[in-house]
Chain A
Amino acid sequence: MDDLKALSTELPGQDMTFLGDTQYVYHCHHFNLFHDQTIEDALGEEKAFEVRSRAAQDAARQLLTDVVRKCGAETPAERLQLATALFPWMGQGSLELLSGEEGGKARGQYLHYSFAWREKYGSKIRRRFPIDAFAAGFAAAATEVAFDLPPGSLTSSEASCFVCREPECSIELSRQEARPTPTPVSRNAIIDGVGAPSAGRNEDSIGQIAQGLKEFLIGIGGDQRGLVQGFGIYVTRHLAAYYNATAYDTIHAIEESSPASTPVVEELFGESGHVCAFYTCGNILLSPEWEAMVGPLKGEVEEVVSACVGICRALGFGHWTVEDLVPNERLVMRCSSNYEAPFYLERYGKSSKPRCYFFANAARAIMQLAHRVDWPSRPQLDEALYQSLFKTGLGWNMEQTACMSRGDDYCEVAITAK
């Protein structure tokens, strides 16, 4: 694991984290489940599993190809072992790879998606379809890299899943004619796609918060189950390419087949931004770690906004800054980098419209949290509070006024009172 920590680097000034050449970000299980649920709502469970597992396979292959080279893992056994060690470091659970050149199997325990789904939803609803598409794609990629197979030459499926109340998660891998795979979005491409970092309001305070949290986060390892816990929440070090490919491919599919539903799918992916701000930022702000490192929260608007921006930088979301803030009226947030726009630009080319669903909606959620939550009273961050904040009372308009995916020099969002 020390090897992997040593491979984790930052893009200077941009608050983006990489493992080797592959970008990763921290996201909690609430975000992960909601994001993937939106793909299923858009495409149906079966197609969604295919889209998700392929995106996972492509992103993991990029990661593993780089990591095995940097760690000097040359034999299939060494490479499979490295992949098996990397998976829990990412907080994805534990994966036993029982695969060879012709495919094979993988067995998962405490796989993040199924474990988290059972925790969050298992007592309320039943699920009939497997959910561990990320693990399936990762297993396929690990096998391809281990045996120097062509990209896309393995297909994966989940034969049994904990989320369907089966005793274990088991994944099957089989050979196929290599499918076309997209060119990975490299670190250099991301560097080319970001803007010049700037300083905004409260830059010193935000920078200090971000730095302190980053030092804390990098030291957190997975437990023996492969789960990563910090600040009282369970997080994944997840691949930005996975989030982006799944989101954008889904949105494009809807734009093509059901254009009238495009605003709906965009709004749901944006909703993930609300989910992240509420659960991740919220729990961090109320955590003992925060209290020890920064101090108890007073709950003032500017304080909460700055705190959330610092947290988002630490989580690898990019160099977000506060350009303007007038409590009860307006927030303008800008970023020279985020994990969405540079990927979009490189993978799909220039967009005719803004594409930073997460950044823009997280900004709106931050404004809501800063104004509508009584932080000193340490409220329970539960579904009832979420409902009251995000279903019945979003009093803010949101407009992406600039976006690097459109060719602008930075991304910017303006949040204004309705």
Chain B
Amino acid sequence: MTSEFLAHAVEDIPSLRAVFVTAMPDCLLYDSWLRADSDWKVEEVAAYFGDLFRANREGLKSLGSWSADIQVTLESPDHLILLKELSADFVCACVFERGAALGMVRLHLQRLVERVRSNLPKFEVTERPRGVRILEFLNRYAPDPHAVLLRISLRTRLPLERLEQPEDLDEAGVRQLEETACEILGLKSLNL
């Protein structure tokens, strides 16, 4: 899929401001389309929406309510944002103008999702090393991100050089990293 494809796929949706396709579980931007006047940082937005969708999914699972067909709707003063799972490996976030009618928005979303889904690549997604994903999560959510690696090194006593290659951390190292991430974020566990 190319951004040209997305640009074409959204042509008949005037109230749409942006589309982000996020590859899961790593919350990496796969593709995006922005209306010309937007200056959003697409990688960041895609990552946060991926985390949001995952958190919703886990929350619903804990209620025994999960279905692959769910849709998350966010309403802010400026935007209407809808998130939907495209496949097990991709999530789509669509940002509409706030004034758009919800019914029309849902219709547009349904059509857009069908177009995009049919053009998704079929490939085997390899989950990246957990150490890498934990560090990326920390860089997104930890306070003082400029100091995160130093803080982890000090808490775990793992050398900085090892933490700079998180893909090479052994099981014990990843476990220490995860425990420390939970300490820093004040979480009981990371849902990654």
Using a CB–CB cutoff of 8 Å, the interface residues on chain A facing chain B are 34, 37-38, 41-42, 120-121, 124-128, 254, 258, 260-261, 264-265, 267-268, 271, 383, 386-387, 390-391
Contact = CB atoms under 8 A, between A and B. Distances in A.
B147 interface: yes
B103 interface: no
Contact of A261 (B147, B154, B187): B154
A120 B142 CA distance: 12
Nearest to A257: B157
A383 B139 CA distance: 13
B191 to A, nearest CB: 15
Contacts of B143: 120-121, 124-125
Given A260-B157, A268-B147, A387-B145, 13 more contacts: A41-B151, A121-B143, A125-B141, A125-B185, A125-B186, A126-B186, A127-B186, A258-B157, A264-B160, A265-B154, A267-B150, A268-B154, A391-B145
Nearest to A120: B143
Contacts of A260: 157, 159
A42 to B, nearest CB: 6
Point out which of B141, B144, B155, B160 has the most chain A C-beta atoms below 10 A from its C-beta.
B144
A268 B150 CA distance: 7
Contacts of A128: 186
A264 B154 contact: yes
Closest 4 CB pairs of A and B: A126-B186, A391-B146, A41-B154, A125-B186
Contacts of A121: 143
14 contacts: A34-B147, A37-B144, A125-B143, A125-B184, A125-B185, A126-B186, A254-B154, A258-B157, A261-B154, A264-B150, A268-B151, A271-B147, A387-B146, A391-B146
Interface string B164-192: 00000000000000000000111100000
B71 interface: no
A260 B154 CA distance: 10
B15 interface: no
Interface string B123-146: 000000000000000000111111
A179 B10 CA distance: 72
A130 to B, nearest CB: 13
A391 B148 CA distance: 10
Contacts of A124: 141, 143
B56 interface: no
B107 to A, nearest CB: 35
Nearest to A42: B154
B156 to A, nearest CB: 9
A268 B147 CA distance: 8
A62 B142 CA distance: 37
Contact of B144 (A34, A127, A254): A34
Nearest to B142: A125
Contact of B185 (A126, A254, A258): A126
Contacts of B154: 38, 41-42, 254, 261, 264-265, 268
Contacts of A34: 144, 147
Contacts of B157: 258, 260-261
A209 B83 CA distance: 55
Contacts of B160: 264
Contacts of B185: 125-126
Contact of B153 (A125, A264, A387, A390): A264
Interface string B33-49: 00000000000000000
Contacts of B141: 124-125
A125 B185 CA distance: 5
B146 A386 contact: yes
B134 to A, nearest CB: 15
Point out which of A41, A125, A126 has the most chain B C-beta atoms below 10 A from its C-beta.
A41
Given A125-B186, A126-B185, A264-B150, A41 B155 contact: yes
A120 B143 CA distance: 9
B186 to A, nearest CB: 3
A193 to B, nearest CB: 29
A283 B186 CA distance: 30
Contacts of B147: 34, 268, 271
Point out which of A128, A254, A258, A261 has the most chain B C-beta atoms below 10 A from its C-beta.
A261
B98 to A, nearest CB: 23
A313 to B, nearest CB: 27
Contacts of A264: 150, 153-154, 160
A252 to B, nearest CB: 15
Contacts of B155: 41
Point out which of A42, A260, A264 has the most chain B C-beta atoms below 10 A from its C-beta.
A264
B97 to A, nearest CB: 26
